[in-house]
Structure 1
Amino acid sequence: MGKRIAIIGGGPGGLVSLKTAIELGLDAMLYEKEQYIGGIWAPGVGKTWHSMQTNLSYFSCMFSDYPWKYSNGDGDLFPNQSMVYQYLSDYVKHFGLQQYIKLSSGVEKIDHVKDDNSWNLFIKHDHPPINYSHIIIAIGIFSKAPSIDYSHVPGIEYFKANGGKVLSGSHYKSPHDLEKKNVVVIGGSYSGCEISTDICQHSNELINVIKRPFWYIPKTIEGKPVDVVFYSRESADRNSKLTEEKARENKVNYFKKITNNNGQIPTLQVDTTLPVFVVITPHYIDRVKEEKIKIVYANQFQGFNKQGQAIFDQLTESQKNSFKVTSSTVTKHIDQVIFCDGYRCNLSILPQELLENISYDEQDKFVPVLLHKTVFAQDFSTIFFVGMYKGPYFCSMELQARWICMIIAGLVEYPTKEEINQGIKDQKTIKDKLPKEQFPNPKYVEYCDYIAKKIGILPPDNLEQTLKHTGNQDLYAMIFHQFMSPVAFKLWESKYIDPQTFEKEPNQKSVHFLKEIKQLFYRDEQ
């Protein structure tokens, strides 16, 4: 059998995997269970609400060879759900991918054929199974909305019996049904903060129950999108020279500065002895200051009494002022509780032997699987994973897809057994470490460059001298000192150049886009 690839999942990771496979001349087909492509960004069936925007700018939410149409700075830097969906739809049309996509085609089961290391796909309503030599799993780490677990909330049955409504954050779409209502949002990460911010302008009272405060980071810092500020090779190189303790200290001091110590709000003061957790949310602090969002800690929320009222206990002086009470205990009539408990990874379609091999744990939202570089399974060389880590970006998913497809096409080597074993050990160490960090693989720049080196597109250390000889010396600054844009990984194609010299002319479309970024955000630094 020739090389035939099945790609499972029609979100960004699946689409870029399909495009890369077709570009390399591989026989590929993508299966998406919903009637739309887009994954979490799909209309109606996606996991977003109407007003939700990306928390990174469109400079990060794009693929290397398909910049946003309004990349000259027009329009909002942070696209909403419909804009991201339109971008992905345009991407499919631009590269002619429609004929390789099967919508409303959920994969119900995948079996491993040991004789030839191939895979049988059982597609909903299809019979018999379809055989593929290679599989790319691109359903992502946020593929399953949590079932609402009420068991840890005392008296929740009284709340419901008295007319109270319960909703999962995954089903929240709009605040308009909550006009003049009293609402409790449980959860203090991204969705909890942003849904609270969305509702509080319409509700009568909004109470956000959090375990502990995070750093609440604005989307722009001194006129630059937060991702443009955070992600550069220069800053990654600088941080790599610091001890873990010094890097942590620098982070805390920087976040104190850009958030004004979380607006000096008493209930949002961060315990700096704990791992650094952040939420990119532009209006949350302001809404808390305005008392449109009231903060209660999880250990203060005592559940509901027999009348269905919420009980909040051991309130601090600032909280009593916010609730306008004198007692440290208060009961409140609540109309709606929204649980923002995050998403989980659903790999139930995979064979049990593979799930055991990758130590799959659906309940683990931190490291649900053990894979080398979050891509490769041990002892299963014809199945690959894209976007299977907390915090996947378009750029890293594209590089994963290029790495995988180049391996299948025979252009680069499959990782050695030693590399895979060590990579899985590294992930196990991260999984078991306590206290846990917010993100298991936070070194985004280094991760992207690792893959780029593996596939032969990472410029060598002497690039600055090489570019001087070719008249492109400004390009060095754009690559290393400025924002690490996805387009930088399309400056040179490994199949066209000698990676030892990099003397080939760079892709001019990529150069033009990097110059746009320079003009927009680095004009005063020239």
Structure 2
Amino acid sequence: MVRRVAVIGAGVGGLASIKCCLEEGLEPTCFERSEDIGGLWRYTDSVDSRRVSVYRSVITNTSKEMSCFSDFPCPEDFPNFLPHGLLLEYFRMYARHFGLLRHIRFKTTALNVRKRPDFVISGQWEVVTETDGIRESHIFDAVMVCTGHYQEPYLPLASFPGIETRFKGRYLHSQEYKDAEAFRGKRVLVVGIGNTGGDLSVELSRVAAKVFLSARSSTWVVRRVSNHGFPVDMVNNTRFNHFLDWLLPSALTKRIRFRKFNSWFNHANYGLASTKSSNFKIIINEELPFCLLSGTVVLKPTVKEFTESSALFEDGTTEENIDVVLFATGYVFSFPFLEESVRSLIDDNRSLYKRVFPPQLEKPTLAIIGLVQLTGSVMVGAEMQARWVTGIFAGWNKLPPASRMMADVLKKKPPVKRNPSKRENLKISFISYTDEIASCAGIKPSVLRLLLTDPRLALAVFFGPCTPFQYRLVGRGKWSGARDAILNQWQRTLKPLRTRVVDDSSNGSSGWRWMCLLALPVALAVGFLLSKYSQLGWSPLAG
């Protein structure tokens, strides 16, 4: 019987885990090695090799409605995309509101987490911690590891001949980057075109003499703002779009997606991506295309090698007088505090059942929270995992036998070793994954049932953004404010923009009502189709 739970880390996953433990009547103790909550979202000017934090200018890539905790909406006057300071303030509000801080031991490092000798029977763990040089040993019935996947910088210097032996300039990982001032007047090469590489290239272009951006893979660049001005994740991440992705051939959906990407600008003309690319990534950046167009950022292929002051690229070109090389090559995860026999079970998140549980353990009392990258907010995914896990610890949810969990893991994990530079190992569909975990936890909404009992809400759930509040409509943890939160999400989106009101003669509410009326027969037809397909064992909507 699980009662006492150790939570390691007080970032977003840790906070959600503490709250979920309390809701299930468990006794959580959170160990946070720094002096405050927030994890990587707590910005500091200093560089700490043991801690990763965001850079000064960072703003969230997912909107507040799509990123908030499922029973605690962001304040309506907060902007739709949050600077790190406001996001941290939101975390503080959440922690205060639910009384989480008293369960956190700050400046306490988890040094060792190991199975007790009677683990096969008890499932218990011994956790050794250190606070101000004093070590303590604790016994817990279960452990939730909430350290995320931004843990250790991935710096593949061996892939860049000459960087350590010949290059006379400075090189560093983006973890050390705080702002652009130190690069003023420099010629900078940024290696890696993920979200961080794109952001830093744009920011550096304002002060650097020249910025070169080296890209290895095809990259599609999208904006946070949709064509009609709403957050793009609220427009795209809907159950209706998810249903279409399932219904239509993958080749067709890929073609539609590429065409949509190119409607902003032709990516092939900029050397970013081709519609013929089989391997590609998507980044969010409003300014990068203009920087490329204006020449303040120059796109380059993969670096072949470095000389004393130059970078040679795979296409045979050379850029001279490089002062700084900034590696935006991502991070790798590690769990140095876990005993080796347990740590060896976690090659990547696909080694875990539902990306959470090591299936080989005799007792399922260790859960890895937040080791997942979604096409939407990881904060929502981490909270969903925590709700499911604590339900299992409390005895409400059940896991299948170990043999079935292993079979599920092997089915989803190809027999190849993880390449740390390819974060696609972690990235999966936002709606698919959250629905999968919600189904396991018994909290996934049924659109068909809602259509019969609350048609207005059903239409908002199916055609509107798949906001976290949808997972508070049914099951354990049901929240009475979920319905209003869903129906008013567009108003909260517009609220921070109403700082200057103009007269608009068009009647938006009337248009919305007409759209709902037209959508109703479509929803009924979808319901009929799904009732037939569900007999085959799959439905993206049924609870």
Tell me the TM-score normalised to structure 2 length.
Answer: 0.82
Q: Is the Cα contact below 8 Å between 1:252 and 1:276 reproduced in 2? A: no
* 1:192–1:340 contact (8 Å) kept in structure 2: yes
- Output the CA distance in 1 between the equivalents of 2:368 and 2:219: 30
Q: How many residues align?
A: 481
Q: 2:533 — aligned with what?
A: none
Report how far residue 140 of structure 1 moved: 0.9
Shift of 1:127: 3.3
The amino acid that maps onto 1:106 is: T
Question: Is residue 2:463 matched to residue 1:491?
Answer: no
Q: 64, 68, 74: which is aligned to 1:68?
A: 74
- By how many angstroms is 1:229 displaced? 2.0
Contact 2:34 2:106 in 1 (8 A): yes
Per-residue CA shift, 1:449-478, capped at 9, x if unaligned?
Answer: 1222222222335313432xxxx3211111
- 1:311-460 aligned within 5 A: 311-312=311-312, 329-358=317-346, 360=347, 367=348, 370-380=351-361, 381-391=364-374, 393-429=378-414, 438=424, 440-460=426-446
Quote the Cα distance in structure 1 between the aligned partners of 2:411 and 2:226: 34
Given that 1:478 and 1:518 are in contact with CA atoms closer than 8 Å, whether structure 2 keeps it comes out as no
Shift, 1:486, TM fit: 0.6
The CA deviation at 1:371 is 0.3
Q: 2:145 aligns with which of 107, 114, 137?
A: 137
1:492 maps to a residue whose letter is V
Shift of 1:144: 1.7
- Residue 313 of structure 1 and its aligned partner are, at CA, apart by 5.4
Q: Residues 376-403 of structure 1, C-alpha deviation per residue, up to 9 Å, x if partnerless?
A: 1113211111111234622211111000
Amino acid at match of 1:92: A
Does residue 299 of structure 2 align to residue 295 of structure 1?
Answer: yes
Shift of 1:345: 0.4
Measured in 1, the distance between the counterparts of 2:335 and 2:187 equals 37
Q: Retained in 1: the 8 A contact 2:349–2:356?
A: no
1:30 correspondence with 2:27: no
Supply the RMSD in Å over aligned alpha carbons: 2.6
- CA 1:172–1:79: 2 relative to 1, 3 Å: same
- Which 5+ residue runs of structure 1 have no aligned equivalent? 316-327, 361-366, 497-505
**Change in 2 beyond 3 A, CA 1:171/1:148:** farther
CA gap 1:59/1:465 in 2 versus in 1, 3 angstroms: closer
Partner amino acid for 1:294? Answer: V
Which among 102, 105, 110 is matched to residue 107 of structure 1?
110
Moved more, 485-494 or 201-210: 485-494
State the partner residue of 1:122. 128
Task: Please list the CA deviations of residues 4-43 of structure 1 after superposition, one character each: whole Å capped at 9, or x if unmatched.
Answer: 1001111111110101101221111111111221111123
Distance (Å, rounded) in 1 between the aligned partners of 2:447 and 2:313: 59
Partner letter of residue 387 of structure 1?
Answer: G
- 1:479 maps to 461
Name the residue aligned to 1:322.
Answer: none
Aligned 1:88-107 pairs, distance under 5 A: 88-107=91-110
- Looking at structure 1, the residues matched to 345 and 164 of structure 2 have their Cα atoms a distance apart, in angstroms, of 39
- 1:168 to partner: Cα distance: 1.0
State whether residues 418 and 425 of structure 2, in contact with CA within 8 Å, keep that contact through their aligned partners in structure 1. Answer: no
Checking the alignment, whether the CA contact within 8 Å between 1:288 and 1:295 is kept in structure 2 is yes
Matched, 1:198 2:179: no
Query: Whole-Å Cα distance in 1 between the matches of residues 2 and 256 of structure 2?
Result: 53
Which secondary structure state, in structure 1, belongs to the residue aligned with residue 198 of structure 2? helix
Range with greater deviation from structure 2 (147-156 or 376-385) = 147-156
| 1:459 counterpart letter in structure 2 | P
Q: Give secondary structure in 1 for the equivalent of 2:299.
A: strand
Superposition deviation, residue 275 in structure 1: 2.2
Checking the alignment, whether the CA contact within 8 Å between 1:212 and 1:270 is kept in structure 2 is no
Whether the aligned pair in 1 keeps the contact of 2:157 and 2:164 (CA below 8 Å) is: no
| Match among 261, 284, 298 for residue 280 of structure 1 | 284
Question: In 2, are the aligned partners of 1:60 and 1:393 still within 8 Å (CA)?
Answer: no
Q: Which residue of 2 aligns with 1:165?
A: 170
In structure 2, distance between residues paired with 1:195 and 1:254? 25
Give the whole-Å Cα distance in 2 for the aligned partners of 1:331 and 1:429: 39
- Would you say the 8 A contact 1:36–1:43 is kept in 2? no
SS of the residue corresponding to residue 350 of structure 1 reads coil
Partner residue, 2:489:
517
Cα deviation code 1:419-456 (max 9, x no counterpart): 41232113322866999783645221122112222222
Distance (Å, rounded) in 2 between the aligned partners of 1:107 and 1:248:
45
Amino acid at match of 1:484: C
Q: Which AA in structure 2 matches 1:290?
A: S
CA gap of 1:31–1:54, structure 2 versus 1, over 3 A, is same
**Does the aligned pair in 1 maintain the 2:217–2:280 contact within 8 Å?**
no
| Cα pair distance change 1:205/1:62, threshold 3 Å | same
Distance 2:319 2:70 in 1: 53
CA–CA separation in structure 1 for the residues paired with 2:271 and 2:302:
12
| Distance of 2:270 and 2:140 partners within structure 1 | 58
Structure 1 residues 431, 368: closer, same or farther in 2, change over 3 A? farther
SS of residue in 1 equivalent to 2:470: helix
Distance 2:487 2:333 in 1: 39
C-alpha contact 1:248 1:276 (8 A) present in aligned 2: no
Shift of 1:155: 5.3
What SS does structure 2 have at the residue aligned with 1:142?
coil
Letter in structure 2 aligned against 1:287: C
Aligned partner of 2:56: which letter? H
CA contact (8 A) 1:5 1:133 kept: yes
Distance 1:473 1:431, change over 3 A: farther
- TM-fit CA distance, 1:369: 5.4
CA distance in 2 between counterparts of 1:414 and 1:102 reads 30
Letter in 2 for 1:272: K
Alpha-carbon distance between aligned partners in 1 of 2:314 and 2:125, rounded to the nearest angstrom: 57
For 2:153 and 2:318, how far apart are their aligned partners in 1?
A: 32
Q: Are residues 1:82 and 2:67 paired?
A: no
Residues 277/150 of structure 1: CA separation in 2 closer, same or farther (3 Å cut): same
Cα displacement (A) at 1:409? 1.0
Give per-residue Cα distances to partners, 1:94-115, cap 9 Å, x unaligned: 1111110011111111111141
2:368 and 2:314 map into 1 onto residues whose CA distance is 47
